[in-house]
Amino acid sequence: MLNRTAPEAQGIPSAAIERFVDAMAQLDSPHSFMLLRHGNVAAEGWWKPYRPEAPHLLFSLSKSFTSCAVGLAREEGLLGLDDPVAKFFPAELTRGADPRCREMTIRHLLTMATGHDRCALEYMTSADDWAAAFFQSPLAYRPGERFVYNSGATYMLSALLRRIIGRSLTAYLRSRLLEPLGFGERNWETCPKGIEVGGWGFYATTEELARFAQMLLQGGKWQGRQLVPADYLKMATSFQIDNSMNDQPDWRVGYGFQFWRCRHNAFRGDGAFGQYALVMPEQDAVLAITSGLRNMQQVLDLVWQHLLPAMSPAPLPADPAAAGRLAERIARLTLPVLGTTGRALPRQSYRLNANEGGFTRLEFESGPDSCRLTLAGPNGPETILAGFGHREESVVKFDSQFPHSVAASAEFTDDRTLTILASSYNTPYQIRLVCRFDGEHVALEHRANLTFLVDQWPILTGCRA
């Protein structure tokens, strides 16, 4: 659906993109990027094992899709931006709620100005009814008074849309936005009542994300069809509320309706650990990025340093040598792989001591090229395959709502210690499993590169079964 060209044809030197890629490679864990100029793909790349066809968890970039759904519902006359939220939740707004909740409007949800002084999720996720818990969470300000980032507000938009349209947010968006943009069937995480969480939990491939960003750049149009109302998107991506109390430069220049304003008159949707749909109107360019990093400002700094100033208003002369070097550099992109050769070990089974994760059994076997580790837990056995000096593929779920594909490599760091490095390439997560065998006993340590709303697993210990 997107046309590919040489970078120079779109006014971007291949050397500038190569410098950007080199700088990205120095960060924690880049996964992919796709750069569009004038609607054409100027460059794209994936760090193995991440790949073009694999949907990636977007975290809070999901909010921008929820915002588009609000714009569509408004266009269809189903809601108004200044409608009181209480109008849609009469039963949930019970006694004990702050009276100021009745002043809260859909606009306040969109602009993160609900009156809370922190994200309301900390009051919501332990409850069965998240909407009721949202209204019971304490307010510190009048709605509209102050920006406070609040994923609970976006959940309320999703729950409100479910009330109005009578079906899921995903189903509502499918024919109106997702299918026209060429999205495949996509999952969205849900609350205990089966309502999409709205503020996180959606998945997209890098190209799907780039198409979404290009549609935003085009004022909601895609292939001649107006997918999202232009007047709504203009409001959604413009300055709606001050957020200058934030520290990072691109987090303090204004917030729209579930979109961040950026320096250089750009705007974006973004998600935890480095998921971006960045729109640069003055350059007629968009950039989709997925990653697994902690400092999200770093990526935007690299864009402003390497890409933005390199964009020419006119095509550049062809530079086959530079374009070839860029293509070779992108072809080599990979995350680390462990090991060289393994060793054969017969299958060993261990009974695990009681643990918070509910895991009861560990089995392990190894050959010269790969090994297999199986953990039995509350949801049955889960097996990770890992290659020595290469990656092997598995599908696991553990405590996630959906199965995830995993690519893993392994090495014996000494006679009694095996390390497995597993990348869940539908997510930012990279897991390092360190398994220590000591005669009849075993200990398994789980280290995640990133954590979000969850704790690291405790060390699992056990003895031979």
Tell me the average pLDDT across 88-109: 93
What's the pLDDT score for residue 90?
94
Tell me the average pLDDT across 163-174: 97
Say which DSSP state 162 is in. Answer: H
Helices (H), 38-118: 62-75, 106-110
Tell me the average pLDDT across 242-259: 98
* Domain covering 345-464, topology: Lipocalin (2.40.128)
Q: Which of 95 and 81 is assigned the larger pLDDT?
A: 81
Q: For the chain, what percent of residues have pLDDT higher than 90?
A: 89
Tell me the average pLDDT across 287-312: 98
Tell me which residue of 333, 287, 324 sits closest to 15, measured CA to CA: 324
Determine the Cα–Cα distance for residues 267 and 286; give it in Å rounded to an integer. 10
**Cβ proximity of 16 and 306 under 8 Å:** yes
* Banded pLDDT at 450 (limits 50, 70, 90): confident
Mean pLDDT of the chain: 96
**pLDDT digits over 206-221, tens only?**
999 999 999 999 999 9
* Banded pLDDT at 452 (limits 50, 70, 90): low
Q: Tell me which CATH code domain 3-329 carries.
A: 3.40.710.10
362 three-class SS? strand
**pLDDT digits over 412-437, tens only?**
999 899 999 999 999 999 999 999 99
CB atoms within 10 A of CB 246: 15
**pLDDT digits over 392-401, tens only?**
999 998 767 7
What's the pLDDT score for residue 355?
93
What's the pLDDT score for residue 455?
53
- Comma-separated ranges of CATH 2.40.128.20 domains in the chain: 345-464
What's the pLDDT score for residue 204?
98
Both tokens assigned to 89: 């939740």
What's the pLDDT score for residue 254?
99
Q: Can you tell me which residue has the tokens 């950026």?
A: 262
**Cβ proximity of 421 and 406 under 8 Å:** no
Determine the Cα–Cα distance for residues 393 and 22; give it in Å rounded to an integer. 27
* Banded pLDDT at 453 (limits 50, 70, 90): very low
- Comma-separated ranges of CATH 3.40.710.10 domains in the chain: 3-329
Q: What is the DSSP string of 322-355?
A: HHHHHHHHHHT-B-----S----EEEEEEEEPP-
